Structure 1
Amino acid sequence: MKALVLTGTKKMEIQDIDTPKVLPNEVLVNTAYAGICGTDRALYAGLPGSANAVPPIVLGHENSGIVAEIGSEVKNVKVGDRVTVDPNIYCGQCEYCLTDRPELCDNLSAVGVTRNGGLAKSFTAPSSVVYPIPDNLSLKSAAAVEPVSCAVHGLSLLDLKAYQKALVIGDGFMGQLFVQLLQSYGVRQVDFAGIIDEKLQFNKEKFGVTNTYNTKCDTIPADYDIVVEAVGLPQTQEQAVEATKKGAQVLMFGVGKPNQTFKMNTYEVYQKQLKIQGAFINPYAFKDAIALLSSGKLDVESLISHEVSLEQVEDVLNGKVEHVSKAVVKVGE
């Protein structure tokens, strides 16, 4: 079968590989769409994602498709079902799994990271991470369930209230998702900060953002109960803390480089009684993400800027394709 294989650091090849065999508890999925995200760019560059990707490996952890075959023990899906797949597979036996923190699993494996993923005609996954999707959810939108689920998990770690005023920093795909999610969760006001004026205006007009700030030139007031940092750069992480009022919560969602640090006024953390929260992957958030998408509370297709082929993926990852907000790969029919 046709697959795009990561063969080394910043090296990918279209190859003909064997269709994977299906174990009794597994599902074979014919890929429809696979999303490309910052994790894929990191893995392509030889950096870790949720785990290390060891070449040769087929990337693609944001997937939708059609069930082509099921193992003898599988009961939750059938051949022909339209599905999306949670890439993260927990061991269920380590300290973190046994204390209800599976996202921190010591033995985490992941479709498209440690095992072959959706940048191929077909891939396998345990049935426990395969989710049928409703008829009103397109396969293109369903490829975004995984990033939506990561944002859902991040917000689940905060104490959200209707009276709060929120700021999202970062006008990429994830930042724009957080704008819609915070609105759907009912906080009274959502403001938006980024570097591309067109995106800021788009979110103001389409999704009802109240105030926008260009982080290159505007001063953000220290007036927010909730701040979501969705960039992962030291300067925006510092801006996130500085934008808080007393009693605020900061979600550090953006992924920095492994050796990256940022400066923080520790007295301000004390005096404001700040909560600074990290968020890693998406434990058991797929059902919520599917529900949000199928209900129409989230619009992801308007945020997809590029639909590409397998042959074009490397150009997206290495930056040859410009102005990418979100790219999805159309793998199958």
Structure 2
Amino acid sequence: MRAVVIQAPGQLDVTTRPDPVAGPEDVIVKVRAVGLCGTDVHMLAGEFGPTVYPVVPGHEFSGEIVEVGRSVSGLAVGDRVAADPAIYCGSCHFCAIGRGNLCESWRTIGITQDGAAAEYVKVPAANIHRLPEDLDLDHAPLIEPLSTIVHGIDVVAPAVGDHFLIYGAGTMGLLYLQTALRNGAASVSVVDLNADRLAVASRLGADRTATSADALPRVGKGWEVVVDCTGAVPAIEDAFTRVRRGGTFQQFGCAPDQDVAKFSPFRIYNDEIRIVGSMAILHSYGRAVDLLGQGWIDCDTMITHRFGLDGYQEALDTFSKGSGRKIQIVPGLTGDR
């Protein structure tokens, strides 16, 4: 099969690899589409510590089962599917307390083992989710990023009527916006330096948008929930100052693993600011399947570019320039559309 391979930091090839073979508890999926993610950019740059090189990237994907392992039941060749890419050991302390996303032996398809930026991908059957018949396979790769949003909101545990401020109107910020609006937020404001992205945020329901939070009318003396979806230190440091007393700051965006941000410890103490992270997926993938199937997300607005495997580097460049929203790799596609 043809596949994209990140051989080492800074080294990307589109090459031929042996077709994957299903183990007893695996299935083989013929990939329909795979979403590009900021994590993929960090992996190529050598900025995402868990990456195991060489690796085929791609952890947001959909497709059709073409092979089923001999011990697998309940799945069949021809099933339309997507998959939770996270693989947990099931026996460490964190798995034992139901926090598998912090697993001490955490593995993920497309990061620590070969992913879906290829014609075929091997997936543990336990991670497979069959798709509703009316859910477009081209839209289904959005389930994975949406499932991280669902977990993020689980972690924040907002009250109905909370006011949200989101930094970043890229894919994750826009998904967070749409989900928060459906989850009882009184308002959602969005900050981004890119005016075109802000226009999309407004179209998707943002109450207010601005290139700086200074231009937004503050709700009281800040916002109950402030979420960074950029991973950029200047945005993170500014976002923290916007949290209302007693409010919550969430670090959702993935920053390079060596970056450091500065906060006021006194303010955390004096204003009882809660700071929370949100790492990937936890008991949220199946819910994301349902939410996408029920139309919570405007998929056509979210997906802006599609490239074939040979266009992977161009897709990364397009992503890094901020000129698209969700960018997909379609193995069966020649050129781009």
Q: Counterpart in 2 of 1:78? A: 76
Paired residue total = 330
- Whichever residue aligns with residue 146 of structure 2, its letter is V
Identity rate, percent: 28
Question: Residue 125 of structure 1 is aligned with which of 114, 119, 123?
Answer: 123
Q: Is the 8 A contact 1:70 1:78 kept in 2?
A: yes
Q: Determine if the alignment matches structure 1 residue 14 to structure 2 residue 11.
A: no
CA–CA separation in structure 2 for the residues paired with 1:48 and 1:34 = 19
Unaligned runs of 5+ in 2: none
CA–CA separation in structure 1 for the residues paired with 2:217 and 2:312 = 36
Q: Please give the residue correspondences for 1:255-270 in structure 2 after superposition, counting only pairs within 5 Å.
A: 255-270=254-269
**Greater alpha carbon shift after TM alignment, 18-27 vs 7-16:** 7-16
Q: Determine if the alignment matches structure 1 residue 209 to structure 2 residue 206.
A: yes
Deviation for aligned residue 1:73? 1.4
Q: Determine if the alignment matches structure 1 residue 234 to structure 2 residue 240.
A: no
Deviation for aligned residue 1:315? 2.1
Cα deviations by residue, 1:247-276 (Å, 9 ceiling, x for unpaired): 111111011121211121222112221111
Query: Secondary structure at the residue paired with 2:314?
Result: helix
CA–CA separation in structure 2 for the residues paired with 1:27 and 1:320 = 30
Q: Determine if the alignment matches structure 1 residue 283 to structure 2 residue 282.
A: yes
Q: Is the 8 A contact 1:154 1:279 kept in 2?
A: yes
- Whichever residue aligns with residue 169 of structure 2, its letter is D
CA–CA separation in structure 2 for the residues paired with 1:84 and 1:71 = 17
Q: Counterpart in 2 of 1:312? A: 311
- Whichever residue aligns with residue 22 of structure 1, its letter is A
Deviation for aligned residue 1:219? 6.1
Q: Counterpart in 2 of 1:115? A: 113
Question: Residue 67 of structure 1 is aligned with which of 65, 68, 72?
Answer: 65
CA–CA separation in structure 2 for the residues paired with 1:210 and 1:101 = 34
CA–CA separation in structure 2 for the residues paired with 1:159 and 1:30 = 37
CA–CA separation in structure 1 for the residues paired with 2:240 and 2:77 = 49
Query: Secondary structure at the residue paired with 2:105?
Result: coil
Q: Is the 8 A contact 1:230 1:254 kept in 2?
A: yes
Q: Is the 8 A contact 2:169 2:201 kept in 1?
A: no
Question: Residue 92 of structure 2 is aligned with which of 91, 94, 103?
Answer: 94
Q: Is the 8 A contact 1:213 1:220 kept in 2?
A: no
CA–CA separation in structure 2 for the residues paired with 1:309 and 1:116 = 18
Query: Secondary structure at the residue paired with 2:180?
Result: helix
**Greater alpha carbon shift after TM alignment, 285-294 vs 311-320:** 311-320
- Whichever residue aligns with residue 234 of structure 2, its letter is Q
Query: TM-score, structure 1 length as denominator?
Result: 0.94
**Greater alpha carbon shift after TM alignment, 266-275 vs 176-185:** 266-275
Q: Please give the residue correspondences for 1:288-303 in structure 2 after superposition, counting only pairs within 5 Å.
A: 288-303=287-302
- Whichever residue aligns with residue 312 of structure 2, its letter is V
The 1:63–1:164 alpha-carbon spacing in structure 2 relative to 1, beyond 3 Å, is same
Query: TM-score, structure 2 length as denominator?
Result: 0.93
- Whichever residue aligns with residue 121 of structure 1, its letter is E
CA–CA separation in structure 2 for the residues paired with 1:19 and 1:257 = 33
Deviation for aligned residue 1:220? 6.8
CA–CA separation in structure 1 for the residues paired with 2:83 and 2:252 = 22
- Whichever residue aligns with residue 30 of structure 2, its letter is N
RMSD of Structure 2 on Structure 1 (CA): 1.7
Q: Is the 8 A contact 1:140 1:301 kept in 2?
A: no
Cα deviations by residue, 1:77-97 (Å, 9 ceiling, x for unpaired): 211011001111000011111
Q: Please give the residue correspondences for 1:318-333 in structure 2 after superposition, counting only pairs within 5 Å.
A: 318=317, 322=321, 323-332=323-332
CA–CA separation in structure 2 for the residues paired with 1:11 and 1:112 = 16
Q: Counterpart in 1 of 2:37? A: 37
